[in-house]
């Protein structure tokens, strides 16, 4: 059965789905992204087969794909199942993908605080398993959230971390390892490199707009528009939109209001493919531009359109200004009932900001003159209530977000200090374990095995270490036992009881000690890629090497290489 032909049919027959391979099912799933019923049918077919085969990773992947075809509650349940299935695994994709999806779903549900909790957990697992793909996604999402709150220090720290990952010389190889074997190609990696470059430009543009570095913002916006077409169609459209919207905002802040309106008009023409959040922002800047040009009627009409698209949870701080303009307009025209209506809306927006910890700057909550109501008593009550609410919002939000901002900064700062401390500990161990400094093991006899056999195996192990037999990629318990002319059971027991390690631990420790005591202190090896270093140390790929290094030393080889380079 040809997947493309099946995609053109109205029905998905179960027996035809059952005949497809796993990758064919995923390809077909992607072709029905706008049909949740068919997506669920394909996803369940994939999941059921994985369950029958008891393939944990494929089961997790099945649940992951089903989240795209499910409502919020069910999707969150699938995420929890992914995490439960894979929490103890060393798979490069899971469970970080489960936490990442939970963060994404919380963002869609306008719950940024819960999103941050999930994203931080995703980042930890992605770091442990060296999934740079997931690390960059999480950093980008956290950056956007902190930009919305206006925390400059935290957001710029996140973007610096993002740039460091992308600029690392081993990034291409590390990124390639994040893909399944079935789809891993250089062209796919290059495509994602283009994506991350555009994502970086987009984030830098947003940061510079928010902090009014408008010339820099325009530089990144133009570069984003230049590179966007090199991405896959979906992402190309996304980045073209981001760059164009950025230029509109830059023109507005540079008081080029006519240009800002023209850009907004050109984008609103495609309103059938834009979300309400996107249209809200376009009508907001269009309206504010008309007001700045003195065209109050057109300006208010656009702001009212923006308000009609607004979900109170989704409004971001700078858009709050539209209610000031609308209220002032109705007050000036004596339409006090309408002025009071939008005053109440503004209060509701302020309360949502407080509950979601989304306002960091109390100056954003501006004083709103209380509408002049017919009843003087109602005037006084409204003034007192609104003043008390503003004070509570300002104080509560500032204190809450101050703690959150400090916490997020501390999270990354402490993580960096922890890495530095671990580096120093590795250096102590490296000096201690230099050739000639190693302590000799004192082995006692094994009663179950003759002392001659024990002594013979121990001598051969010593020779094995001196000749660096552990650097061979085909090193296994069976192969080493065969070389020693003994059986694997004897060799394993002697290593377990005398060296107090199992065979894989024994080999890993020898390889890693060789890495830090003899290989990496040499300047030429510090210029090698992680993949090349891994192969020099006996590992088949960079992924296995990075995980083993992190598991033993608590930091990544790329970080260690940078630090030892500076030390030298």
DSSP of 460-485, one letter per residue? HHHHHHHTTGGGSTT--HHHHHHHTT
Answer yes or no: do 503 and 418 share one domain: no
Cβ-Cβ contacts under 8 Å for 243 (sequence gap 6 or more): 202, 205, 221, 222, 224, 225, 228
Q: Summarize the confidence of residues 535-558 as an average pLDDT.
A: 81
Answer yes or no: do 499 and 421 share one domain: no
Answer yes or no: do 342 and 418 share one domain: yes
Are the CB atoms for 39 and 32 separated by under 8 Å? yes
Q: Summarize the confidence of residues 306-322 as an average pLDDT.
A: 82
Report the range out of 9-18, 183-192, 240-249, 361-370 with the highest average pLDDT. 240-249
Answer yes or no: do 417 and 469 share one domain: no
Please say which residue of 432, 456, 484 terminates a domain. 432
Distance in angstroms (rounded) separating the CA atoms of residues 128 and 145: 24
Distance in angstroms (rounded) separating the CA atoms of residues 296 and 499: 82
Structural domain contains residue 206: no
Helix (H/G/I), strand (E/B), else coil: 221: helix
Residue 433: pLDDT band (50, 70, 90) is low
Structural domain contains residue 522: yes
Structural domain contains residue 487: yes
pLDDT at position 130 is 85
Distance in angstroms (rounded) separating the CA atoms of residues 224 and 240: 7
Answer yes or no: do 474 and 424 share one domain: no
pLDDT at position 431 is 54
Q: Summarize the confidence of residues 4-18 as an average pLDDT.
A: 69
Domains of the chain: total: 2
> Is 70 exceeded by the pLDDT of residue 7?
no
Distances in Å between the Cα of 294 and the Cα atoms of 230, 298, 299, 369 are 41, 9, 8, 22
Q: Which of 209, 216, 220, 223 is nearest to 260 (CA)?
A: 209
Are the CB atoms for 248 and 218 separated by under 8 Å? no
Mean pLDDT of the chain: 80
pLDDT digits (tens, 9 = 90+) for 377-415: 343 334 434 444 444 444 444 445 455 555 555 555 555
Q: Which of 494, 511, 516, 513 is nearest to 561 (CA)?
A: 516
Answer yes or no: do 452 and 541 share one domain: yes
Distance in angstroms (rounded) separating the CA atoms of residues 45 and 61: 12
Cβ-Cβ contacts under 8 Å for 235 (sequence gap 6 or more): 195, 198, 228
In sign, the C-alpha dihedral spanning 286, 290, 292, 296 is negative
Cβ-Cβ contacts under 8 Å for 72 (sequence gap 6 or more): 105, 108, 109
The two tokens of residue 351 are 């309360």
Considering only residues 272 and 465, tell me which one the structure prediction assigns the higher pLDDT.
465
Please say which residue of 432, 466, 483 terminates a domain. 432
Structural domain contains residue 145: no
Q: What percent of the chain has pLDDT over 90?
A: 35
Helix (H/G/I), strand (E/B), else coil: 405: helix
pLDDT digits (tens, 9 = 90+) for 59-104: 999 999 999 999 999 999 999 999 999 987 878 999 999 999 999 9
pLDDT at position 383 is 43
Cβ-Cβ contacts under 8 Å for 325 (sequence gap 6 or more): 287, 288, 291, 299, 300, 303
Distance in angstroms (rounded) separating the CA atoms of residues 417 and 398: 28
Report the range out of 133-142, 518-527, 529-538 with the highest average pLDDT. 133-142
Residue 445: pLDDT band (50, 70, 90) is very low
Helix-strand-coil split of the chain, %, nearest 5: 75, 0, 25
- Cβ neighbours, 10 Å, residue 399: 11
Considering only residues 5 and 109, tell me which one the structure prediction assigns the higher pLDDT.
109
pLDDT at position 39 is 93
pLDDT at position 286 is 96
Answer yes or no: do 351 and 415 share one domain: yes
Q: Lowest mean pLDDT: which of 25-39, 296-310, 420-434, 453-467?
A: 420-434
Q: Lowest mean pLDDT: which of 256-270, 330-344, 371-385?
A: 371-385
> Is 90 exceeded by the pLDDT of residue 116?
no
pLDDT digits (tens, 9 = 90+) for 297-312: 999 999 999 999 877 6
Q: Summarize the confidence of residues 280-307 as an average pLDDT.
A: 95
CA gyration radius for the chain? 30
Q: What percent of the chain has pLDDT over 70?
A: 79
- Domain with 382 in it: 337-432
Structural domain contains residue 121: no
* CATH number of the domain bearing residue 528: 1.10.10.60
Residue 358: pLDDT band (50, 70, 90) is very low
Answer yes or no: do 345 and 377 share one domain: yes
The two tokens of residue 138 are 């999480």
Please say which residue of 403, 432, 461 terminates a domain. 432
* Phi/psi of residue 475, nearest 5 degrees: -65, 125
Structural domain contains residue 535: yes
pLDDT at position 393 is 45
Distance in angstroms (rounded) separating the CA atoms of residues 179 and 183: 7
């Amino acid at each position: 059965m040809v997947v493309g032909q099946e995609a053109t049919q109205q029905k998905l027959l179960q027996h035809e789905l059952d005949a497809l391979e796993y990758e064919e099912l995923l390809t077909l799933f992607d072709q029905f992204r706008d049909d949740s019923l068919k997506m669920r049918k394909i996803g369940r077919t994939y999941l059921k087969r994985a369950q029958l085969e008891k393939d944990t990773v494929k089961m997790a992947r099945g649940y992951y794909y089903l989240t795209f075809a499910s409502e919020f509650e069910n999707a969150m349940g699938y995420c929890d199942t992914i995490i439960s299935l894979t929490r103890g695994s060393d798979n490069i994709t899971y469970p970080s993908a489960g936490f990442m999806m939970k963060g994404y779903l919380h963002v869609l549900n306008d719950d940024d605080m819960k999103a941050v909790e999930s994203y931080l957990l995703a980042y930890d697992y992605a770091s442990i398993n060296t999934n740079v793909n997931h690390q960059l996604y999480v950093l980008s999402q956290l950056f956007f959230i902190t930009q919305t709150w206006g925390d400059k220090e935290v957001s710029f720290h996140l973007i610096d971390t993002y740039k460091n990952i992308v600029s690392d010389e081993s990034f291409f190889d590390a990124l390639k390892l994040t893909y399944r074997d079935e789809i891993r190609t250089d062209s796919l990696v290059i495509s994602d490199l283009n994506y991350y470059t555009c994502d970086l430009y987009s984030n830098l543009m947003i940061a510079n707009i928010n902090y009014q570095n408008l010339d820099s913002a325009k530089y990144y916006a133009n570069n984003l528009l230049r590179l966007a077409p090199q991405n896959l169609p979906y992402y190309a459209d996304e980045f073209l939109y981001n760059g164009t919207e950025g230029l509109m905002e830059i023109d507005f802040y540079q008081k080029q209001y006519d240009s800002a309106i023209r850009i907004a008009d050109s984008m609103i023409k495609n309103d059938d493919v834009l979300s309400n959040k996107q249209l809200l922002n376009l009508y907001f800047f269009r309206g504010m531009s008309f007001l700045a040009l003195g065209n109050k009627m057109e300006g208010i009409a656009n702001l009212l359109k923006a308000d009609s698209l607004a979900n109170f949870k989704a409004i971001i701080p700078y858009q709050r200004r539209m209610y000031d303009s609308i209220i002032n307009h109705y007050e000036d025209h004596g339409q006090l009932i309408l002025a009071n209506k939008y005053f109440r809306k503004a209060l509701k927006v302020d309360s949502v900001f407080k509950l979601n910890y989304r306002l960091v700057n109390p100056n954003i909550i501006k004083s709103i003159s209380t509408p002049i109501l017919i009843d003087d008593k109602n005037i006084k009550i409204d003034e007192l209530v609104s003043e008390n609410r503003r004070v509570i919002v300002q104080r509560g939000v500032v204190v809450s977000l101050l703690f959150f901002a400090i916490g997020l900064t501390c999270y990354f700062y402490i993580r960096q200090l922890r890495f530095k401390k671990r580096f120093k500990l590795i250096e102590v161990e490296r000096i201690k374990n230099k050739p000639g400094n190693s302590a000799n093991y004192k082995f006692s006899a094994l009663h179950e095995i003759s002392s001659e056999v024990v002594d013979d195996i121990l001598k051969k192990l010593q020779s094995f270490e001196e000749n660096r037999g552990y650097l061979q990629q085909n090193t296994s318990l069976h192969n080493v036992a065969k070389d020693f002319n003994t059986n694997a059971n004897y060799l394993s027991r002697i290593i377990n009881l005398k060296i107090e390690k199992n065979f894989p631990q024994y080999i890993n420790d020898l390889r890693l000690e060789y890495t830090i005591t003899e290989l990496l202190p040499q300047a030429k090896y510090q210029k090698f890629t992680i993949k090349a270093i891994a192969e020099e140390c006996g590992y088949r790929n960079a992924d296995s090497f990075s995980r083993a290094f992190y598991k033993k030393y608590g930091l990544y080889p790329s970080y260690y290489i940078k630090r030892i380079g500076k030390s030298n």
